Amino acid sequence: MSENILHNEQKLLNLLEKKFLLKESRIIRAKRVEVKVEPKEVIPVLLYAKENSGYIHFAHMSCVDWIEDGEFEVVYILWHPEEKINLFVKTRVPRDNGSLPNIDFIWRQANTYEREIREMFGLRFEGLEGRKEFILEDWNNIPPMRRDFDTEAYVKEVFFHRLGREDAKDVREKIQERTDEELPDFAKKYSRD
């Protein structure tokens, strides 16, 4: 890909790198820019992106549970309607007792995502308003999207099981064997290799 095409992406990265202390930053591919920041830098970066760089659309916000590192990663996805670029702002907080600043004064709709993450992962947002109970009802277990929540054990305990599923075999090996087989002629033209 020529430099020319990624011109807008590079411009954004240079601006952000000059202004903020980024932990990591890269262009994933055309139209995708990723920056990793400290939790306290989240508000400045988002505000700067919205007010000065034209990333006015808050597309999504999600959370990833990195249980191995003992951290949650929260991803804010912004969208530039004119340049058509997605900006991913990622930040990491400790799993226990971590907290993030509330950003719903920048985009009001962030409130919904934050409440969902608070409920599903148990991550605290400073100063977040709204009822604690959002999607779940009468939930008194650990937040269900945490990876230390054992879904299968919970399901076994709470729900009934119709007979007929116990003999479900692990077919992954069988499928793996089959993928090594020679393809029949008619299928060859659809094959990737």
Specify the residue, 129 or 150, whose C-beta has the smaller distance to other proteins. Answer: 150
Q: Mask: binding to other proteins, 61-100, rule CB under 8 A, as x and -? A: ----------------------------------------
Specify the residue, 152 or 173, whose C-beta has the smaller distance to other proteins. Answer: 152
Q: Which of residues 133-162 bind other proteins (CB under 8 A)?
A: 135-138, 140, 144, 149, 151-152, 154-155, 158-162
Provide the 10 A C-beta neighbour count for residue 155.
11
Q: Quick one: angle between helices 7-19 and 42-51, nearest 10?
A: 130
Q: 3-class SS at 11?
A: helix
Residue type, 42: V
Q: Taking Cα atoms as reference points, which of 44, 38, 94 lies closest to residue 67?
A: 94
169 binds other proteins (CB under 8 A): no
Tokens of 71: 């951290």
| Interface positions with other proteins (CB under 8 A) | 135-138, 140, 144, 149, 151-152, 154-155, 158-162, 164-165
